[in-house]
Amino acid sequence: MRNPRFALILVLLAPCPVATVRAAMMYVYDLDSLVHLSTDVAEAEITRSFKADTIDLIEAKVTLVHKGGFKKGQIIAVVDADYYRKPAIDKINNEKLAVGDRIVLFAVRAKPSDFNRIPENAVLYAPLPGGMRLVHGDQIHGFAQRDNPGPYVAYPQTEKKKPFTLESFRKKVETSLRDTKEWAKLIEAKTDQLDVPALLKLLGDRSKVSYGGRDYFTERTCMRFAETHDPVVLSKALAVAKAYYDVSILQRGFGSPKGRDYLLTKIDDAKEPMPVRLRYARALGEAGSVYREVFTDIGSNGWRHVGKVDEGNSGYLTRIAKSVRANARHEELARSLIRCLDYSGQGISQNKPEPLMVDLSGANAVLKELYDAKPSQEMQFAIEKATVWIPNDYAKLKSPCGPMVSILRWADPQIYTKPEKPSLIFEYEYTTVLMGRNAEVTPSVVLLHEKTQKRHALPTTLRIRGWATGGGSNSVELPKDLPRGRYHVFLELRDGEQVISVGHHFAIEL
């Protein structure tokens, strides 16, 4: 007989596109974020695993409640548990959670969506991103996405660290329940009552680099700062933020005329330390290319904007190019600014609004002056890549790269698998936006002897498509009779017997 509690679920649940969800990075909230965002935090034991119209579900018996309205002994139904797996020894596929497994669940009530077509009155719970722990003996294990695409997989504790026990975990949850209440008050204060020093301390204490990790409190702090569009406050926050989303949100906070002017002024200020100027230059790209635009509703993954471009865009992009020229001797800074123009050009070239196109072309004209002075290979490549969005401007450079702008860079062989035969490993970057979308080319690697000018054209396994930008690493097998000497190494593309592209090179002793 069908269990009456799940009759409604079995009839009305629709398939969830698991492949779609797993074909992307599945981030993980830290413990404090999970404690704060979940409505219920509980320890439980899985008592049943089953499917309802192809949807994987588990039933779990609550054994201890940390937060929320669950009761000890209550049976709860959980969706999305299939995204959490146990590592399997000597097996390709990780194991599903099974009956008898003990878990900690950071849950919210599951709601209908395009992916989970559940009825409004179905009492189901779902873990927040990364919102599950696996209990094994007296130790507790977190989950992380090992491969993309792929599910969350429980990771083992290492011998180097003191074991994370269930007892210590419970104490952390207790501490988090107390601390997060105070942090929530800080981040949700009214705009005119923001405690900036306290928020800066919270950001500095918590923001850290973490692959796939997310922190609700630091991101929310950065959103509050970004909403102010106060360059001074944003500057202080940017100096202590480390996590990708934190930095990105703050950078978009400079998305106002005042913010953009502030960044350009600081970038050109020789009194500022170079690391600080570079930090501002990186922010410039996220602050937008439309001078009169103001970013609003700034979040972790997007924003809206108000304001329109004025005639000539107030020469904003051209001002950035002039900053490149003024700081040309500081190559890292100059190239960072050129990347801002490259990034802007990609968007502008899609719809081609006239004022922005005029401003971008003005910026390209300034870059051409620098290009004609024959800067480094890296600078030439950066200028070509930024200019290519307006083909007529790129043509004026008379670049030997032609339709495929490319550069090769030396690669440290120690960090790559050693080839069986004597080979040269290299890294490459390119753009082929001047080629048709259906084009596919296979360039050669050329070794040019500096002294004798003798060329050695070597075949590659590269397959580069048109209308694309990318890069990576590759290698070529070296000829056995290759003379010793210093070589320039670059990509070359031919159309029959005609050379149509000569890329930028690096030099190496072979």
**In the structure encoding, which two tokens stand for residue 327, read together?**
């700081």
Residue 92: its pLDDT value, please? 58
CA angle 184, 67, 6 (to 5 degrees): 125
Listing DSSP states for 152-168 in one string gives EEE-PPPTTS---BHHH
State residue 252 phi and psi, 5-degree precision: -70, -20
**In the structure encoding, which two tokens stand for residue 346, read together?**
């990609």
Listing DSSP states for 485-499 in one string gives SEEEEEEEEEETTEE
Residue 20: its pLDDT value, please? 36
DSSP tally for the chain: helices H, then strands E:
15, 24
Q: How far apart are CA 393 and CA 357, in angstroms?
A: 11
CB 151 within 8 A of CB 144: no
Secondary structure (3-state) at 476: strand
Percent helix, strand, coil in the chain, to 5, is 40, 25, 35
DSSP tag of 461: -
Q: Residues with Cβ < 8 Å from 418, sequence gap 6 or more? A: none
The number of angstroms, rounded, from the C-alpha of 205 to the middle of its chain's C-alpha atoms is: 22
Helix pair 231-240, 216-228: axis angle to 10 deg: 160
Q: What are the residues facing 64 on neighbouring strands?
A: 43
State residue 449 phi and psi, 5-degree precision: -70, 120
Listing DSSP states for 52-79 in one string gives ETTEEEEEEEEEEEEESS--TT-EEEEE
Report which residue type is found at 393.
D
CB 31 within 8 A of CB 41: no
CB 505 within 8 A of CB 465: no
* Burial per residue of 79-98, b for 16 or more beta-carbon CB atoms within 10 angstroms, e otherwise: bbbbbbbbeeeeeeebebbe
Cβ count near 109 (within 10 Å): 11
Cis peptide before 149 (omega within 30 of 0): yes
Element (DSSP H or E) covering residue 388: none
Listing DSSP states for 217-257 in one string gives HHHHHHHHHHHHT-HHHHHHHHHH--SHHHHHHHHHHT-SH
What is the Rg, in whole angstroms, of the alpha carbon atoms belonging to the chain? 28
What are 316-374's pLDDT values in tens digits?
A: 999 999 999 999 999 999 999 999 999 999 999 999 999 999 999 999 999 999 999 99
HSE-CB for 276 with a 13 A CA cutoff: 15
Residue 89: its pLDDT value, please? 64
Residue 8: its pLDDT value, please? 33
Cβ count near 69 (within 10 Å): 9
Q: How far apart are CA 489 and CA 503, in angstroms?
A: 9
Residues of the chain with pLDDT under 50: 1-23
Q: Residues with Cβ < 8 Å from 486, sequence gap 6 or more? A: 449, 450, 451, 507, 508, 509, 510
Residue carrying the six token digits 């696996």: 134
CA angle 96, 102, 104 (to 5 degrees): 100
Q: What are the residues facing 473 on neighbouring strands?
A: 427
CA torsion 28→33→36→37, rounded to 10°?
-40
What are 109-158's pLDDT values in tens digits?
A: 998 777 777 777 788 999 999 999 999 999 999 998 888 788 899 987 65
Residue 148: its pLDDT value, please? 79
Residue 55: its pLDDT value, please? 77
Q: Closest Cα to residue 38, out of 48, 29, 26, 27?
A: 29
Q: How far apart are CA 243 and CA 205, in angstroms?
A: 12
